[in-house]
């Protein structure tokens, strides 16, 4: 497990929000290049490794993570030197205040920033009990005024990323970190390609990661148009509901995500996934989701692409500190490998048969 923790620590401590995924893209390019036949990028910056099959009429199967995590972008600099920002991805205002962030300037310089909060002293005799809006939140780098901030290279459009270190829990089973949504998917892709590097496949595999998922599933629309897969497998992390009496429990295996507001799993895909999991001895749990993944965008492209999400869940996602089980990753990885090995022409045609 210690080796897995180090890999997770490496990927979760990378910083990348929508539109600024270059650090994760560079990581993927370095990891994937020796494991695939070729590397291709799309026009928005998605990156995929292609592993061709020697089988005639092999189906094209796409496995896609997304590179971006949630963060903020500077909207303007106040005269007093503090910053205001827009959310890049979904944030609960309750988890933003009094946290540390890293601001990256246009030149790549990193600057420590904290999010402001109201001390209890200022709340006494105050009727202001409403949640703040994201655009009202204060980000503070300690500058005296706007001129000083600008002298350090700060500009509107600079990105603000949560600062957090990955740590093991006391029982050594779980990890606390930022960005498991969706560095989980990034590590799933690299571990998959490493595991199958010397294995012949019954399909042409297109594995990598999209951009800008957290702001509307944008990258998946571009990459599916470019690569024209017959099957699309998103690899993504979902919120755990176990401590709230909802579905999704950490430590209980990978998710069979049969529904979300933007995607309903097809009957034949569901039967294929369940039989594959049972045959491979995979621990899985049924999951009815309240949010979407890239599968929601991909399945509507190219006259319709049967799609699903191979996922895990984590507590407290879209914050500085999410908590998740390492064994869930291992179950999801074993599931993904079993799926890829089974997706030959006859199986794909059966999934697509209506």
DSSP per position, 302-313: TT---EEEEEEE
Give me the residues paired with residue 323 across strands. Answer: 176, 315
Contact 230, 352 (CB under 8 A): yes
Contact 312, 255 (CB under 8 A): yes
How far is the C-alpha of 61 from the C-alpha of 228, rounded, in Å?
9
Which positions ≥6 away from 207 have C-beta within 8 Å?
32, 36, 48, 49, 51, 62, 63, 64, 189, 192, 193
Check the annotation: does 37 bind a ligand. no
Active site positions, annotated: 213
Check the annotation: does 318 bind a ligand. yes
Pairing of strands 284-288, 254-260: parallel
Check the annotation: does 236 bind a ligand. yes
Check the annotation: does 181 bind a ligand. yes
Contact 53, 196 (CB under 8 A): no
Q: Strand, helix or coil at 131?
A: coil
Phi, psi of 41 (to 5 degrees): -120, 155
Question: Which residues are documented as binding site?
Answer: 66, 181, 214, 236, 318
Question: Which residues are documented as binding site for Zn(2+)?
Answer: 66, 181, 214, 236, 318
């Amino acid at each position: 497990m210690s080796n897995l923790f180090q890999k997770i620590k490496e990927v979760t401590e990378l910083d990348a929000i929508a539109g600024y995924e270059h650090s994760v893209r560079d990581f993927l390019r370095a990891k994937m290049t020796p494991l695939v036949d070729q590397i291709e990028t799309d026009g928005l910056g998605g990156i995929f490794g292609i592993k061709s099959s020697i089988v005639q009429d092999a189906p094209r199967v796409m496995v896609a993570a997304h590179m971006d995590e949630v963060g903020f972008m500077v909207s303007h600099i106040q005269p007093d030197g503090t910053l205001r920002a827009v959310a890049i991805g979904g944030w609960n205002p309750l988890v933003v205040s009094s946290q540390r962030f890293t601001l990256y300037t246009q030149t790549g310089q990193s600057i420590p920033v904290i999010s402001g909060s109201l001390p209890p002293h200022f709340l006494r005799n105050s009727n202001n009990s409403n949640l703040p809006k994201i655009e009202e939140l204060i980000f503070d780098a300690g500058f005296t005024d706007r001129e000083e901030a600008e002298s350090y290279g700060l500009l509107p459009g600079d990105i603000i990323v949560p600062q957090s270190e990955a740590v093991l829990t006391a029982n050594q089973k779980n990890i606390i970190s930022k960005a498991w949504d969706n560095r989980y998917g990034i590590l799933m892709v690299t571990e998959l390609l490493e595991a199958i590097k010397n294995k012949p496949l019954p399909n042409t595999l297109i594995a990598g990661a999209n951009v800008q998922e957290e702001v509307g599933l944008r990258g998946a629309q571009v990459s599916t148009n470019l690569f024209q897969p017959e099957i699309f497998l998103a690899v993504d992390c979902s919120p755990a509901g176990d401590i709230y009496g909802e579905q999704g429990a950490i430590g209980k295996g990978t998710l069979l995500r049969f529904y979300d507001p933007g995607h309903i799993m097809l009957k034949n895909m569901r039967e294929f996934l369940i039989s594959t999991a049972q045959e491979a001895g995979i621990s899985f749990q049924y999951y009815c989701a309240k949010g979407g993944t890239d599968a929601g965008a991909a399945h509507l492209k190219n006259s319709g692409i049967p799609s699903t999400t191979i996922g895990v869940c984590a507590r407290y996602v879209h914050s500085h500190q999410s908590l998740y089980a390492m064994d869930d990753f291992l179950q999801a990885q074993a599931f993904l490998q079993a799926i890829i090995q089974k997706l030959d022409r006859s199986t794909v045609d059966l999934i697509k048969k209506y």
